[in-house]
Structure 1
Amino acid sequence: MTYILLEETPTELLFLKGELFKYLVKVRRHGVGDKLYFRTKENMEELYLYQVKTIENRSLELEKISCEVKVVASKVLLHIGWCVIDMKSIEKVLPSLSEIGVNKISFISCDRSQKNFKHDMKRLKRILEASMQQCGRSTYIEFDVYKNIEDFIKEFPQTKVFDFAKKTIDQYRDIETVLVGCEGGFSPSEKEFLQSQDVFRLDTPMVLRSESAVMAVASKILL
């Protein structure tokens, strides 16, 4: 854990109790004199440094040493248009997408998307926060929802499409927005609509699951 996320801006003295106390003292084995970093949901850009002052039975007292503005984010802004798949599959790969620096994810209802999945944005945010505290990232992935591919392409006409194609991803540079299909790929009508977009593939003979494709494409672009 590179920093701890707090609900509110801490004061000069910080007292931690409950589950966070148990985690830091019982699991992480922090003791008097150890230094810990904190950020707050109110202002993610500021990084606070505290030192453990005293440890009692159920309370950890820390004293502020410094505060600095330190933004940790990817230098490349990548926006993924992701045709909706099982949210459990999305949740599994979301921490990794956060760690490599994806900036935004738009969930799109496609012809082959299962229609009974609901987007629990609060749960996704909690998963993000756990990942951010581990990797040090100070910016959230942005989320939004589109009812179909047409609406998404209309708003982001520069979108590149991941699908079966002659060209590979290495033949394109400065990809800002990429569209990835759901399980089963794009329907014939969607393929016809997307003919005017730049389409690329990865240089592999394997057929990738949607979440594997998102992770592989994002990694190629960002890392």
Structure 2
Amino acid sequence: MRFLFHDEAGAPEVTLKGEAYKYIVKVRRHGVGDSVALRHPEASGTLYTYRLAQSDGRRAELMLMSEESLRIGAVRPLHIGWCLVDPKSVEKVLPQLNEMGIAGITFIACDRSQRQFKPDFERYRRILEASMQQCGRSEWMGLEIADSLEAFLAANPQTVVLDFTEETLRDTTGIGTVLIGCEGGFSEAERTLLASCRTLRFDTPLILRSESAAVAAAAKILL
């Protein structure tokens, strides 16, 4: 764990109770005199270092030692436009995408998206919170919904599309936004709409699931 999110981070004294106490003392085995790093969830660019002053078996008292502006993230931004898939599929790979530094994901209802799928941003944020504490990332991943594919392209005219085509994804220079289809890929109407976009494919004869494509694109471009 690189730090712990806490709503009182930044205060001269912080009391850890409940799950925060169990995690720091029971799981992470911090004892009196140890340093504990905290960030505030609404001002995550500042890292606060506390000293664990005392612990009584139910709560721990922390004393502020120092603070610094410390932003940690990917060296370059990457935005994913993702046609809606089963939220459970997103949840499985969200920690990996967060660790690799994806700046944001825009979910789009595409022709082959199942209409009952709705992104659960509250649950996604909890997943991201746990991932950030583990990997050290300080900046929250942006999450949003686009009203339509047309609206997404209007807002992101330099989008690169991942689809079945001749050109393979090799040189990633200048790629800031990638569009990934849902299970079943893009419809013919959508491919017509995307005709003016640069379209690339992975150098593999195998068909990737939508979430696999998201992780592969992130790794290829960011790592």
For Structure 1 versus Structure 2, the TM-score category normalised by the shorter chain is over 0.9
Question: SS at 2:170's partner residue?
Answer: helix
Asked if residue 174 in structure 1 is aligned to residue 174 in structure 2, the reply is: yes
Asked if residue 51 in structure 1 is aligned to residue 51 in structure 2, the reply is: yes
CA distance in 2, matches of 1:14, 1:172: 45
1:70 corresponding residue in structure 2: 70
Asked if residue 98 in structure 1 is aligned to residue 98 in structure 2, the reply is: yes
2:164 corresponding residue in structure 1: 164
CA distance in 1, matches of 2:5, 2:114: 35
> Could you list the per-position Cα deviations for residues 69-127 of structure 1 after superposition, in whole angstroms to 9, with x for gaps in the alignment?
00001121111000000001001111110000000100001100000012221111111
1:122 corresponding residue in structure 2: 122
1:24 corresponding residue in structure 2: 24
Q: Judge which range, 147-156 or 206-215, deviates more.
A: 147-156
2:79 corresponding residue in structure 1: 79
Counterpart residue type for residue 65 of structure 1: M
Structure 1 residue 172 displacement after superposition = 4.6
Structure 1 residue 57 displacement after superposition = 2.3
1:216 corresponding residue in structure 2: 216
CA distance in 2, matches of 1:96, 1:71: 19
2:153 corresponding residue in structure 1: 153
| TM-score, normalisation: structure 1 | 0.96
| 1:9–1:42 CA contact under 8 A, matched in 2 | no
CA distance in 2, matches of 1:33, 1:171: 49
CA distance in 1, matches of 2:75, 2:13: 34
CA distance in 2, matches of 1:25, 1:157: 49
| TM-score, normalisation: structure 2 | 0.96
Report percent identity of matched pairs: 49
RMSD in angstroms over aligned alpha carbons? 1.2
> Could you list the per-position Cα deviations for residues 40-92 of structure 1 after superposition, in whole angstroms to 9, with x for gaps in the alignment?
02311110111111111211112211100000011211110000000010011
1:8 corresponding residue in structure 2: 8
Counterpart residue type for residue 100 of structure 2: I
| 1:8–1:41 CA contact under 8 A, matched in 2 | no
User: Where does structure 2 lack aligned partners over 5 or more consecutive residues?
Assistant: none
User: Where does structure 1 lack aligned partners over 5 or more consecutive residues?
Assistant: none
| 1:79–1:103 CA contact under 8 A, matched in 2 | yes
| 1:54–1:62 CA contact under 8 A, matched in 2 | yes
Q: Which runs of 4+ in 1 moved over 6 A?
A: none
CA distance in 2, matches of 1:185, 1:29: 47
Asked if residue 137 in structure 1 is aligned to residue 137 in structure 2, the reply is: yes
Question: SS at 1:196's partner residue?
Answer: coil
CA distance in 1, matches of 2:146, 2:15: 43
CA distance in 2, matches of 1:199, 1:59: 55
Aligned length: 223
> Could you list the per-position Cα deviations for residues 150-195 of structure 1 after superposition, in whole angstroms to 9, with x for gaps in the alignment?
2211221110000011111114521001100000000111112211
